Amino acid sequence: MITETSAVAFRQNLGEMLNIVQYRNDSVLIKKDGKPVAALIDARLFERIRRMQDRFDALSDRLEQTFAGVPEEVALAEIEQASALARRETADAWRASGRLPTLPQTAVKPAKAAKRSASVASAKKGAATKVKPKAVR
């Protein structure tokens, strides 16, 4: 749970705010003029956040070195493609181990399948009978 308080009330009730964080494992969002300016969180959560930030910084540095000299659009596309593959592989592994539910199978109705096959065959036939442009002499 997150307790919200003003900076003035926080200053006046510092001991109580520390108890909220230490004993109830809550966080305190401190606002000034109605806008969030700081948060009081427990030390274990703060350490987790610091470790995650360090890992993120290290990963960012490795990506920067790996894609040095590569156009940004190309690098971002490759990173997105690799991320999507990793997410799929992780999800598949989690489904196999029972950590995620299996995906529902989408059944294709026979009438729709026949209609789809006919339209695909028709499209292929149409593509094969297109008039070819005349050669320029």
pLDDT of residue 131: 42
Environment class of 3 (CB within 10 Å of its CB; exposed 0-12, middle 13-18, buried 19+) = middle
Environment class of 10 (CB within 10 Å of its CB; exposed 0-12, middle 13-18, buried 19+) = buried
In this structure, the answer to whether residues 78 and 24 fall within a common structural domain is: no
Residue showing tokens 């350490």:
47
CATH code, 38: 3.40.1620.10
In this structure, the answer to whether residues 76 and 62 fall within a common structural domain is: no
For the chain, give me the number of helices (H) and strands (E)? 5, 3
In a domain, 130, yes or no: no
In this structure, the answer to whether residues 15 and 31 fall within a common structural domain is: yes
Domain count, the chain: 2
Give residue 53's pLDDT band: very low, low, confident or very high (50, 70, 90): very high
Taking residues 60-88, report their average pLDDT: 94
pLDDT of residue 103: 87
In a domain, 121, yes or no: no
Q: Which one, of 91, 1, 76, 66, lies nearest residue 40 by Cα?
A: 1
Percent of the chain with pLDDT over 90: 73
In a domain, 27, yes or no: yes
Containing domain of residue 22, as a range?
A: 1-66
In this structure, the answer to whether residues 50 and 75 fall within a common structural domain is: no
